[in-house]
């Protein structure tokens, strides 16, 4: 009888541990396999199911919508409110293609974050720093995901 109880408790413990591990937030895994890296924009695979995008793709959609709305506000002569546009840590999110998670991608993300902060640090030169920010979207997209480039190239303010 005692063994049955022990087995029962062990089984519960096993199920518990398995589930709690599965629910733990997954740390982004960095691909170091150099053969699978691509520098020509191919790393962004076409999304198989556009209605079920990965978290990074969803964040990018928000970033694009925000850039569009920043652009309109600057054109109307309004001052951008940093509280309305908090920085989105897209580089921690799961991408469609995990091969993008290599060193150059994180370097680009870091430069993008610097450019992002500068927009709000220069309230009197927002157009200039907004355009630099869009350059840094373009810079990363030239290496990692060339699909949206056509759209992003329309973002800069003349
Ligand atoms: C550090 C690199 C990097 C930067 C900077 C970056 N992107 Fe992206 N972007 C990506 C990658 C990689 C994907 C593919 C994400 C995925 O499919 O999970 C992507 C996807 C997208 C998409 C497609 C999302 C979809 O619907 O599938 C758009 C639009 C986009 N980015 C716009 C932008 C805009 C606008 C900016 C600047 C405000 C920007 N990106 C900055 C790397 C970057």
Give residue 60 CA to ligand 1 midpoint distance, Å: 5
pLDDT digits (tens, 9 = 90+) for 101-158: 999 999 999 999 999 999 999 999 999 999 999 999 999 999 999 999 999 999 999 9
DSSP class per residue in the chain: -HHHHHHHHHHHHHHHHHHHHHHSPPPPPPP--GGG--SSSTTSPPPS-TTS--HHHHHHHHHHHHHHHHHHHHHTTPPP-TTTSPPP-GGGSPPSSGGG-SHHHHHHHHHHHHHHHHHHH-TTSHHHHHHHHHHHHHHHHHHH--TTHHHHTT-S--
pLDDT digits (tens, 9 = 90+) for 19-47: 443 443 344 444 333 333 334 444 565 55
pLDDT digits (tens, 9 = 90+) for 71-80: 999 999 999 9
pLDDT at 11: 58
Q: Of 68, 86, 90, 145, which is best to mutate to test ligand 1, by the most ligand atoms within 8 angstroms of its C-beta?
A: 145
């Amino acid at each position: 009888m005692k063994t049955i109880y022990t087995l029962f408790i062990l089984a519960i413990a096993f199920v518990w541990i398995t589930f709690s591990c599965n629910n733990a937030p997954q740390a982004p895994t960095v691909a170091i396999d150099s053969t699978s890296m691509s520098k020509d924009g191919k790393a962004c695979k076409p999304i198989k199911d556009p209605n079920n995008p990965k978290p990074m793709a969803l964040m990018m959609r928000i970033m694009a919508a925000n850039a569009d709305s920043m652009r309109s506000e600057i054109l109307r002569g309004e001052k951008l409110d940093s509280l309305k546009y908090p920085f989105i840590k897209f580089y921690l999110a799961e991408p469609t293609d995990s091969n993008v998670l290599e060193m150059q991608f994180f370097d680009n993300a870091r430069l993008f974050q610097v450019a992002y902060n500068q927009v709000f640090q220069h309230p009197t030169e927002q157009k200039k720093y907004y355009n630099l920010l869009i350059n840094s979207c373009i810079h990363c997209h030239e290496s990692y995901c060339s699909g949206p480039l056509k759209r992003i190239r329309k973002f800069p303010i003349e």
